[in-house]
Amino acid sequence: MTAAETVLEAVREVVCGLPVTCQGLTMVPLVSDRVSDADYLVLDEALERGWVEITESSDAGQVPELKVVNRGEMAVLLLDGEQLLGAKQNRVLNLTILVPPHHSNTIPVSCVESGRWRRTSPSFGSSPYAHYAEGRAAKMRQVTSSLRASGVRCSDQQAVWNDIAEKSARLDVSSDTAAMMAMYESVDHSLDDFVAAFPPADRQVGAVFLVNGHPAGLELFDAASTWRRLSPKLVRSYALDAIDHQNDPGTPVMSTVGSTLIEAVTSSKSSVFSALGEGEDVRLSGSDITGAALVARGRAIHVSAFSAASAT
């Protein structure tokens, strides 16, 4: 089975659960009968064990890349959009990467703190937040275009900064270093309400999210344990968009909306590239969506797709 076929099989086999709504954000659980557990650690787990270290690529540093070293006995999953705090400026990951054990990688990132270029720590720490979903969607489209054109997984850094500035202005949030983190800190208590409203369901491996009833994105993992560990970061990322658009016109949530986004993924066109770290990097595109998936160890580790409206 090809990597693209593996992605399609993973998406087609999930079942949509009952939608749950909190303050303009709706989550449709994606559940699976697969009985499997993750054979890797997520970043927070690896950092807690002292197995992984993420640093600037050199003493001088370069904005679009960092270095990760995994000294542990298991692979480490780095999530697309996951925020990294510290070093010379905060960054977010440009794609999902599975770093093998006893291995180092140069990883592509985007800066989400344009007003700082000074070292505050020797290495990066994790964050309870990820790049907000609309920003991830736009960045994913940029990275896919870069990969197809030149084989490099770069974002449009200026566009990332502009988007953060515009969202910060709408939310009436300011920061001395123009940090994305300031938006999350300004509404932190509200974001915890969203997380509490969407506890992981039995056998849940992902979700479809809607903002004001409009499809926003799909997140799918290979194991329910991975969803449990990463869902708070992802819920907060979609919740920030819901707060941003709380006064926009809404539409009733249809019971079939999860299936609609799944169908858009299964009908999309795919391109396959060698992944950074383990596996293959599958890029999905269509008139309705932009998406990406990491396929490794014979399965789709993470599939992420956004509606076209979110990616503009």
Query: Mean of the pLDDT values across residues 273-287?
Result: 96
Query: Mean of the pLDDT values across residues 20-27?
Result: 95
Question: Any idea what the Cα angle at residue 151 is, between residues 58 and 306, rounded to 5°?
Answer: 100
Using a pLDDT cut of 90, give the percent of the chain over it: 89
pLDDT beyond 70 at 202: yes
Note whether 270 and 4 are within 8 A (CB). Answer: yes
Residues 136-190 have pLDDT tens digits of: 999 999 999 999 999 999 999 999 999 999 999 999 999 999 999 999 999 988 9
Using a pLDDT cut of 70, give the percent of the chain over it: 96
Note whether 209 and 38 are within 8 A (CB). Answer: no
Distance (Å, whole) CA 181 – CA 244: 15
pTM, 2 dp: 0.96
DSSP state of 119: -
pLDDT band at 252 (very low <50, low <70, confident <90, very high): low
Return the bridge partners of 205, or none: none
Note whether 88 and 125 are within 8 A (CB). Answer: no
Distance (Å, whole) CA 69 – CA 80: 18
Return the bridge partners of 130, or none: 82
Report which residue type is found at 119: R
Kindly report the average pLDDT of the chain as a whole number: 94
